[in-house]
C-alpha cells in the first residue's frame, strides 16, 4: 500500500477536509488527485468535480498574496505549511481556513504529492491574539478519537 492509498483509506470518513495534489508547484499545478467528503462539504462542491482542478479555485478578492507566497515557499522547500487563508465557497461565501499542508515523499526522498488538512476556523472572542493559533478556533470539533489522532500527528499545531 502506498502512502497515498493509506491516506485515502484513513481520510475517507474523517470529519476534517483532506485534499491531495500532485507535486507540481507551478501552473497548471498543483493538480487535485483526491478530496474526501468533508473537503467537498467545506468548499460547497461535489468532491468528484474537484479532481483535476488546482486548489487556487478557492481563492478570491480577500485571499492575501503574502500568505500564498509563504505557502509556495514552503512547498518549494519541501516543508510543512501551517497557516490561515481566506478561501471562498462555490456560492461565493468567504471563510477562514486553517491549512496544514505537508509533502509526501517516495522512499528515495522525492516529493510525490502534497496533502493538506483543512478546516474552517472563526476568530476567538475576548482572547489576546498572541499568535495566529490563539486567534482562531475550529468552527466544529471532531469526535474525541479523531482529536486524539490529529494530536498524535501534530496536525494543526506548530512544531
Q: How far is the CB of 128 from ligand FMN (least distance, A)?
A: 27
Of 91 and 144, which has the nearer Cβ to ligand FMN? 91
CB of 69 to ligand FMN, least distance (A): 7
Which CB, 97 or 150, lies closer to ligand FMN? 97
d(CA 95, CA 39): 13
Residue 2's alpha-carbon distances to 25, 64, 71, 107, in angstroms, are 22, 35, 25, 10
- Residues in contact with ligand FMN by the rule CB under 6 A: 19, 21, 30, 54-56, 58-59, 63, 68, 71-72, 85, 87, 97, 99, 101, 114, 116, 118
> Smallest gap, in angstroms, from Cβ of residue 99 to ligand FMN?
6
Name which of 72 and 127 has its Cβ closer to ligand FMN.
72
Amino acid at each position: 500500500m502506498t502512502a497515498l492509498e493509506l491516506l485515502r483509506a484513513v481520510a475517507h470518513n474523517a470529519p476534517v477536509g483532506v485534499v491531495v495534489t500532485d507535486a507540481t508547484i507551478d501552473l497548471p499545478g498543483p493538480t487535485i488527485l483526491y478530496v474526501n467528503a468533508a473537503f467537498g462539504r467545506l468548499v460547497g462542491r461535489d468532491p468528484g468535480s474537484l479532481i483535476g482542478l488546482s486548489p487556487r479555485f478557492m481563492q478570491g478578492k480577500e485571499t492575501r498574496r503574502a500568505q500564498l507566497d509563504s505557502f509556495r515557499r514552503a512547498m518549494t522547500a519541501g516543508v510543512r505549511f501551517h497557516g490561515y487563508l481566506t478561501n471562498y465557497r462555490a456560492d461565493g461565501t468567504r471563510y477562514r481556513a486553517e491549512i496544514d499542508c505537508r509533502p509526501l515523499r517516495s522512499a528515495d526522498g522525492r516529493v510525490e504529492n502534497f496533502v493538506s488538512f483543512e478546516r474552517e476556523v472563526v476568530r476567538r472572542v475576548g482572547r489576546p491574539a498572541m499568535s495566529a493559533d490563539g486567534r482562531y478556533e475550529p468552527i466544529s470539533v471532531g469526535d474525541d478519537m479523531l482529536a486524539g489522532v490529529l494530536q498524535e500527528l501534530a496536525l494543526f499545531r506548530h512544531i
